[in-house]
Every structure is written in C-alpha cells, then in structure tokens.
Amino acid sequence: MASVGEAVAAASARIGRTDAVALATHAWGVTRAWLVSHDREALAAPLAQRYDALVAQRQQGSPVAYLTGLREFYGRSFGVSAAVLIPRPETELIVEAALARLPEAGRLLDLGTGSGAIAVTLACERPTAAVIATDVSAAALAVAKDNARRHSASVDFRLGTWFEPVKSARFDIIVSNPPYVAALDPHLAQGDLRFEPTLALSDGSADGLASLKAIISGAGGHLQPGGWLLVEHGHDQGERCARLLEAAGFIDLMAMADLAGLPRVAGGRLPRPG
C-alpha cells in the first residue's frame, strides 16, 4: 500500500506536481497542509483508486477544473462543469474595468455569462448594483445560478441570445466575454479547449469576430448616455475591436492588456447628447 506522499509523487510524474496536488486535495477532501503533515501515512485502497481515476482522466487531457468542479476567479471559488467555459485569469481585467466605471446602484448587463464568473463577481463586489446576465445556453445558466447562490449574489439570469432577453432595457455598463476564437484556429483542438463547449469558444465565423460585431453594434441601443461597453477579445483582435467601437459611435476608447502584455479588453463610452 502506497503512502500519501508516494501516491502524489507517482501522480506528479504523470501529470505534474501542481495538478497532482490539486487532484489529491479534491479526491481525498483534504488541504495542502494535510498532504504535507500526512506524507508518510498509508493511503486506503478506495482513496487510492479514486485518485488514480482522476489522474488517468487528467493524463488524457480533461481540464483539472472539470475534474474538481471548481475554479478560482477574482478570489472566489466558482463551480464549473463541461457546460461552461473555465473562467480565465485574464477575464478578471473586465471586472476591474467595470468596477472602475460602475456608478453606485448602477445597472449592469453581462452578455454570455457562462459560469456567471463576471456577473456574480460584480454583484458581490458592488451589492448595490442591479446585475442582469444572459446566456443562450440553459445548461450554462444553471451553473451560473448555482454560483450566484454559492456567493449569495443577486443576479437576474435570463436565457436568450445577446440583447434579446433584456428587450429595450438600458444599462450603465455592458460587459461581455463572448466566443471569439476563429472557426479554424488550431487551438480549438488543443489543451483544455478540446473539452470546453464549442458555443463558448467560437461562433463559427472565420475571423472569430461575429459575436463581438453583434454586441458592439447592438450595445448603443441598450446603454444609457455616457454608459460603457467593455468586451474581452482575442490577443490579435484589439485593433479590430477599437475600429468597430469607433464605427458604432463610441468615444473615450480604452484598452487593457493581460499580464503577458497582450491586449485583452476593449471598451468605449456612449456619448451624451448635445
């Protein structure tokens, strides 16, 4: 019978130390500190089997977040399933950008909410805001609602395509991290992306811009004068988004780069009349 430490070491050789530790804490319901303090303890057979099954799935490519059912976003733990995109660290940029612009008791719309990472985070960080979040996937919305409950966040979730579920309502801020991977991008067949919903990654357009175009062209009709649209985009789509925002009449264009220095968020403000 292997010890705790031996089991984790053997798994580390197969899937790397970080993932081996993450799956061990999940499989055994323990903390990292427990792993260290129980390093030499014999591992019961059922626990070893449960761990081995997870390690095997990881070795075959399953994302760790889908195996553990959890992913950290903006300091909170979000439930995830194969129905939703795994929240990415770069998406925290759009949260920062929205928080810097959201008035007290402002109205915010999150388009394509997925796990609810953006909407739930903003509702937690700004409890006075009225947050509506839409998604075309009912399965994704079920995950998002669970996450809102998990964090006692007040978010009005609506099923439908982009602006359709909010009819003619207007907002102070619209945020979106839409699908933007080009249809034939080879990354879709690599890494975690192979396991994530296609609907969350790509809208099937050759340049990956169809959803961004729909959101940017539609946002003006759903923003208050002076309201902001903030969108996440692919690392090579920043210039194109800026031109689309300009063409749609947005002013005060902004851009944010991720930790690798790649442009990731584009936005603009709707002018006030007069």
Ligand X SMILES: C[S@@+](CC[C@H](N)C(=O)[O-])C[C@H]1O[C@@H](n2cnc3c(N)ncnc32)[C@H](O)[C@@H]1O
Residues in touch with ligand X (CB under 6 A): 84-85, 87, 91, 112-115, 117-118, 134-137, 140, 161-162, 177-179, 199-200
Q: How far is the CB of 272 from ligand X (least distance, A)?
A: 28
Q: How far is the CB of 36 from ligand X (least distance, A)?
A: 32
Residue 48 or 179 with smaller CB distance to ligand X: 179
Q: How far is the CB of 17 from ligand X (least distance, A)?
A: 26
How many angstroms separate the Cα of 209 from the Cα of each of 76, 148, 214? 30, 29, 9
Residue 48 or 84 with smaller CB distance to ligand X: 84
Q: How far is the CB of 260 from ligand X (least distance, A)?
A: 18
**8 A C-beta contact, residue 158 and residue 134:** yes
Name residues whose C-beta falls within 8 Å of residue 122's C-beta, 6 or more positions apart in sequence: 95, 98, 99, 102, 108, 110, 129, 131, 175
- Residue with token string 């075309």: 136
Residue 87 or 238 with smaller CB distance to ligand X: 87
Tally of CB atoms within 10 A around 16: 12
The candidate with the shortest Cα–Cα distance to 238, out of 216, 221, 222, is: 216
Tell me the β-bridge partners of 232. Answer: 265
* CA geometry: angle 261, 241, 274, nearest 5 deg: 120
Q: How far is the CB of 202 from ligand X (least distance, A)?
A: 9
Q: How far is the CB of 10 from ligand X (least distance, A)?
A: 33
Residue 66 or 162 with smaller CB distance to ligand X: 162
Sign of the dihedral defined by the CA atoms of residues 229, 162, 112, 245, in that order:
negative
Rounded CA Rg of the chain: 21
Write the DSSP symbol of residue 76: E
Residue 23 or 118 with smaller CB distance to ligand X: 118
Q: How far is the CB of 197 from ligand X (least distance, A)?
A: 6
Residue 43 or 238 with smaller CB distance to ligand X: 238
Residue 21 or 188 with smaller CB distance to ligand X: 188
How is residue 104 written in tokens? 């007290």
Q: How far is the CB of 160 from ligand X (least distance, A)?
A: 7
**8 A C-beta contact, residue 180 and residue 208:** yes
Burial class (CB in 10 A: 0-12, 13-18, 19+), 136: middle
Residue 31 or 190 with smaller CB distance to ligand X: 190
- Residue with token string 């959890």: 70
